[in-house]
Structure 1
Amino acid sequence: MVLDQEMPSNPEGDQDVNTDEDFTPIGTVEIFNDSKIDTNYILVNDAAANRVYIMNKKAKLLHEWTLTNNIGNDVYLMPNGKLLASLESDEPKIPLGGKGGKIQIIETDNTPSWEYIYSSTEGETHHDVEMLPNGNILAMVWSITDSIQAKEEGYMFSEDIYPESIIEINTNTSSIVWEWHSMDHLVQENDSTKRNYGTIAHNPQLIDINYSAKETLLPEVKGDIMHANAIAYDAEKDLIYLSVNSFSEIWVIDHSTTTEEAASHLGGNYNKGGDLIYRFGNPEAYENEQGLRLFQNNHFPNLLKGEHKGKLLVFSNGNDIKQSTVYELELPETYNLEPNKNNEPKITWSFTDPDMYSGKVSGAVLLENGNILITEGDFGFWEVTREKEVVWKFSAPGFYWRGYHYLQEAPEIQKLGL
């Protein structure tokens, strides 16, 4: 059964996925097994139209926010009913995909109640933000390194680069209280006269500054040597998970360090300073011949909770085969990142389909009924069961960053009066 703009209600005799009056859907819905659909709500981030809205599974628009700026990509609804949004600044200084520069907390009446601007020729926030339990915010930053300094760090080309940093912002004082910089944790085999020279395969805790330069990058990301696109936080272990698209990896960083320790190789709960305590998805990125490469570009490391605690969902874009895959991975209880060992996590579930491919953005979330809601960036959404049965799809012209699901009775939904 298909619902679209020309068919605003279900044919007589079909069961509704949500009980609603007649309306005009905002896209096309395909229902394959109505009895297995999770009937809760989806928060949609459509970066093409710069729209953030909530819809039900019949594609009825339930609520939409008015934003002051374009999406920079991530916008999500917090339990207090407020939005946390990564937006583009008025004049972004680093015009790469996912550019941001402005972070806002937005009230239910669309009014920004807090704003932080990090947009200059020195660097810019981008893509994703994460609210910490203490009320601080983690944000990713592109920091500009000019071609001369890049050469000093052993970079193989003469061009400016945009390596990754992470900052933690205190929302009470609007000040940076912690930071981590990838440039403090490099290794390279290109120039033996530089300080970062070393054997890549022997140092999995360090980042090969030239890895993506050896790969074939899209023209629009020239100099964007890492292109992190998502951030997640494990409060119990005090760890940050950084999705690094150009490396086809997820990096795990110790957040328990001080800023000084994060710039070093010692300190913190894991006594590795700001070095990577774990990494997975692409052992080729650190010349490890052990372990299977899973990702060919990746988005949204989604840490699961409850009975699925210790697992993670991630969207592998699959640019090499033009087919995407969602993986559920079981993370190790203890992170041991060793040279010439298989450091990859265990695959506990996966889903792919010849019709599912998005070379950019996208992600997956676990639904209340156990199904998986998949965002396919240039299509829309799929809902699939653990048995890999496709039960529902939504599509409309757009560029879908992520979809977040919310129970109909969730406090944040109730605060919106839905």
Structure 2
Amino acid sequence: MSRADVVVIGLGFVGVPLAAAAARAGFQVCGVDAAAEKLSHLAESAGAQGSQNPELRTLLTTGQLELRRRGALPDADVYCISVPTPMRADGRIDTAHLLDAAEAVGKAMRKGALVLVHSTCAPGSLEQQVIPLIARKSRLLPGIDFHIAHAPERIDPARGTPTADLPRIVAGLTPQCTKAATTFLRSAFARVVPVSSIRTAEFVKTFENTFRLVNISLANELAEVCRGHDVDPVEVIEAAATKPYGFLPHHPGIGAGGGCIPVVTEFFRASARQRGVIPPMVEAALAVNAAMPGRTVELIRDRLARSWKLSLSRCKVLVVGVTYKPDVVDIRNSCAVQVINRLRVEAADVGYYDPRIPQLRMERGRALRSTARLDATGFDIAVILTKHTTVDYSALRTGALPVLDCSSGTPVPWQDHD
């Protein structure tokens, strides 16, 4: 495909449904990604049972959508950037993929094109980094020679809500940019919500995720307090959720992970500090979240000693579920993986089962492989960290093996659920 209506750069959980939505709307779409193995997997799994994009095979077969490995980008009317902006080991945001994509777009685009950045961005980064880079590489004036706008991604890979049904926030560099971006998005999405500026759109995404982290951390603090009163925090939250106004339920767990909630909350903190503001509630929420894997191990250790007179040292532990949340194939910033690392520091002998993650690369380069099936034979205890809805846990109910379900934040012996 030497020319396309739309080019989507980055074919992850954001880019693939975006490309499919544009193709479904009638655009000729070219999706590009730097990872050859990802492209092969997409082509092989397109239309498979359980796929989040069941129409992908049809779009590929008809030629409405083409997938290719990153190289020089084809000429297009619209360029959509949907690459990741992960958090580095030092806690800073890695913008390398975003800037690389921006440079490629700048080299390929022509006058009159529309550039839409869907990647999650720290407030100010588009105006300070991305737009100047595209302008420099294209030698075109932003807002005059080409349109540029930000439409931060909204997607929940576990729920399967059709991307086209989710309201999309958008803002352009100029009113004309906003109009061009809104017109394009309305052809593929049910509802488009323009806001006043690119920085406002960046803050919308930042606040959405910060709101969730603050409330998840509050739920984890509730669980900590409830433990001291022998009260079930989940029962408290479910009862509170019957209030028809003013309450939105969030649930405790082993900590919020993934590529959005903890990362984007760091955007909020960094943006505040840039203006000399220390946000105490956000600081506290981040601290609570960061402490959860360690606190989970403490609770497991305590429960083992009290209920079964076992020590973590040299205990053979089967961890069940390692993704950052249920029903995804993603271990980015997974608190379950952090729990495994901490269990190993405690000298526990750890194995794991997760049908979605066949292998884990642990600290110091060691690889762990998932057991072929949920079988706790040879282990002293099983610990459920991430509870996939597609896993049959009944195998853990057989025999006298102790089982702790930590998925709701409090290690509960399995028999306590009966």
TM-score by length of 1: 0.26
User: Relative contact order (alpha carbons < 8 A, sep ≥ 6): 1 or 2 greater?
Assistant: 1
Task: Point out the structure with max Rg over C-alpha.
Answer: 2
TM-score by length of 2: 0.26
Higher helix share: 2
